[in-house]
């Protein structure tokens, strides 16, 4: 029998302003995990979440993860774990999210202050972390509160696992999950993660696959200090020239990775698989809207989706040590570090990818005959994941989408990475579902990141409704 969700939905609508205020308070904490200076803010964000959950009656623990590898002066932020409800007659659902965010500076081009949630007349709520992933994490908190206020019994036991290093490769979390799988997480019947995005702006989706991510640094150094290009240009070997050459040899304009052997690691696309793409509601217009221009590599939807989900990609992210300010500084940087990453797919093995990358970059550098020195390393890696979308966990989520949005969700894969998804699956042996809240135009990781009010409020209804349907779904997959 379909659960009566009306009282819960009404309460979510009535509490909308206070839920937005909760998101405003969370966005105001600049919990940037990649920045040493912001580490105290990442800790403050852990406190904020722990307090919100404790106030609602959850049993909360902040579990330390020790020092950050390679940065012995820095403590890793804690994992906030919580239990809400302990009724052996109910199912137990483990939810994961992250409370850290990507960096954000006004000078990157934000139209509003990134850590000041700004809501416009269209209900777009701009702010770093609004969609990735503070909005969805607070969606679970809101769902608990709305049940309490509406006097509706919470349908499941909820276990929470919220981390503070996801945007930096989830340092330390794998070991924690493996250790807790038979302890704090032992009762979990299924796992749900809300940390990705719809394909478009109207239709929700359920996601059963993610790409992995191997992130690299290429350091080239030569002179002992930065030099005057008038005095030393033409006589000193310039690290930047070497680095630009190396970075330009990684990927072509069609997105094809140039590192020998990489593309051969990819599982061949089957005829059956190709047939899945035409039915997915997505158009090139959706892509143009999301990227804000028509500068796509491909002209068709199927090629675009396959490039995002099914094939690896290589992106060049930036150069540490390079002159990047406005103006015309005539400097020769003495040391530059190029950053790039490869999104990996089945059946690419992370170690094999690393070996191929290291060998190629070293070989290309040798060809230059440069007297500068090179160092290439993998900063972090996370494996790809593909699961079964036919499990009861997915069926419950599909019913919740139908109830809240009136449509059947698309079954999608995702081009981004959530490194711990596979860890949860392997450590708990349970099905993992990705249930996104935000839309394709949210601009996660970019300037002007936002979450639409509708996605946040209806998304809170969706998370609650999912828990009700999960409580009713037959166990058979």
Active site residues: 100, 166
Quote the least distance from Cβ 370 to ligand L7UNP4BN, whole Å: 30
- Strand blocks (E) in 143-253: 157-163, 190-193, 205-210, 212-221, 227-228
The phi, psi pair for 226, rounded to 5°, reads -60, 150
Residue 193 near ligand L7UNP4BN by CB under 6 A: no
Evaluate whether 427 touches 449 at the Cβ level (below 8 Å): no
The phi, psi pair for 216, rounded to 5°, reads -120, 150
Stretch that binds ligand L7UNP4BN, among 16-24, 262-270, 316-324, 411-419 (CB under 6 A): 411-419
Q: Tokens for 276?
A: 């899945």
Q: Which is nearer to ligand L7UNP4BN, 374 or 444 (CB)?
A: 444
Evaluate whether 477 touches 166 at the Cβ level (below 8 Å): no
Cα angle value 226/227/230 (rounded, 5°): 155
Residue 228 assigned to a binding site: yes
User: Binding partner of residue 136 among ligand L7UNP4BN, Zn ion, none, CB under 5 to 8 Å per kind?
Assistant: none
Residue 445 assigned to a binding site: yes
Report the candidate in 100, 102, 125 with the shortest Cα–Cα distance to residue 23: 125
Q: Which is nearer to Zn ion, 195 or 458 (CB)?
A: 195
Residue 195 near ligand L7UNP4BN by CB under 6 A: yes
The phi, psi pair for 350, rounded to 5°, reads -55, -45
Q: Which is nearer to ligand L7UNP4BN, 34 or 276 (CB)?
A: 34
* Footprint on residues 215-234 left by ligand L7UNP4BN (CB under 6 A): 215
Quote the least distance from Cβ 133 to Zn ion, whole Å: 4
Quote the least distance from Cβ 418 to ligand L7UNP4BN, whole Å: 5
- Strand blocks (E) in 271-324: 313-320
Q: Which residue has the tokens 């409580």?
A: 471
In the set 41, 100, 132, 458, which binds ligand L7UNP4BN (CB under 6 A)? 132
Evaluate whether 36 touches 74 at the Cβ level (below 8 Å): yes
Residue 382 near ligand L7UNP4BN by CB under 6 A: yes
Residue 163 near ligand L7UNP4BN by CB under 6 A: no
Q: Tokens for 331?
A: 């400097």
Stretch that binds ligand L7UNP4BN, among 145-153, 165-173, 268-276, 396-404 (CB under 6 A): 165-173
Q: Tokens for 428?
A: 């708990």
Q: Tokens for 76?
A: 């890793």
Number of residues binding to ligand L7UNP4BN, judged by CB under 6 A: 14
* Cα distance from N-terminal residue to C-terminal residue, the chain: 19
User: Binding partner of residue 77 among ligand L7UNP4BN, Zn ion, none, CB under 5 to 8 Å per kind?
Assistant: none
Q: What is the DSSP letter of 21?
A: H
Residue 391 assigned to a binding site: no
Binding site residue list for Mn(2+): 98, 132, 167, 195, 445
- Residues forming contacts to ligand L7UNP4BN in the complex (CB under 6 A) are 132-133, 166-167, 169, 195-196, 213, 215, 382, 416-418, 444
């Amino acid at each position: 029998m379909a659960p009566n969700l009306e009282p819960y939905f009404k309460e979510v609508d009535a509490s909308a302003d206070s839920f937005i205020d909760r998101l405003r308070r969370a966005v105001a904490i600049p919990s940037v995990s990649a920045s040493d200076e912001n580490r105290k803010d990442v800790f403050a964000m852990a406190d904020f979440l722990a307090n919100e959950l404790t106030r609602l009656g959850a049993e909360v623990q902040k579990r330390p993860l020790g020092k950050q590898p390679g940065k012995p002066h820095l403590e890793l932020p804690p994992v906030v774990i919580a239990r809400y409800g302990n009724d052996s007659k109910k199912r137990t659902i483990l939810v994961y999210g992250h409370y850290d965010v990507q960096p954000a500076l006004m000078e990157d081009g934000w139209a509003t202050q990134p850590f000041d949630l700004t809501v416009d007349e269209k209900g777009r709520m701009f702010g770093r972390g609004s969609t990735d992933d503070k909005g969805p994490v607070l969606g679970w908190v809101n769902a608990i509160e709305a049940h309490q206020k509406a006097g509706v019994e919470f349908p499941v036991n909820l276990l929470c696992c919220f981390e503070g290093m996801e945007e930096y490769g989830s340092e330390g979390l794998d070991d924690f999950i493996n250790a807790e799988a038979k302890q704090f997480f032992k009762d979990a019947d299924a796992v749900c993660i809300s940390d990705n995005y719809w394909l478009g702006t109207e239709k929700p989706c359920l996601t059963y696959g993610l790409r992995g991510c191997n992130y690299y640094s290429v350091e080239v150094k030569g002179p002992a200090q930065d030099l005057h290009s008038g005095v030393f240009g033409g006589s000193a070997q310039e690290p930047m020239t070497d680095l630009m050459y190396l970075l330009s040899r990684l990927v072509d304009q069609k997105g094809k990775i140039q590192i020998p052997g990489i593309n051969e690691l990819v599982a061949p696309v089957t005829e059956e698989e190709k047939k899945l793409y035409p039915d997915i509601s997505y158009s090139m217009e959706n892509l143009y809207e999301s990227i804000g221009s028509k500068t796509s590599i491909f002209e068709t939807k199927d090629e675009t989706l396959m490039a995002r989900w099914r094939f690896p990609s290589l992106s060049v992210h930036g150069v540490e040590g390079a002159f990047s300010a406005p103006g015309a500084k005539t400097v020769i940087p003495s040391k530059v570090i190029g950053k790039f990453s490869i999104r990996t797919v089945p059946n690419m093995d992370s170690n094999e990818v690393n070996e191929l990358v290291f060998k190629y970059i070293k070989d290309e550098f040798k060809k230059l005959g440069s007297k500068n020195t090179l160092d290439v390393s993998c900063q972090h890696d996370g494996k790809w994941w593909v699961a079964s979308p036919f499990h009861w966990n997915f069926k419950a989520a599909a019913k919740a989408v139908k109830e809240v949005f009136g449509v059947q969700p698309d079954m999608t894969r995702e081009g981004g990475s959530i490194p711990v998804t596979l860890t949860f699956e392997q450590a708990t042996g349970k099905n993992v579902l990705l249930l996104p809240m935000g839309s394709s135009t949210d601009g996660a990781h970019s300037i002007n990141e936002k979450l639409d009010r509708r996605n946040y409020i209806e998304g809170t209804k969706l998370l609650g409704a999912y828990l009700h349907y999960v409580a009713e779904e037959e166990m058979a997959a």
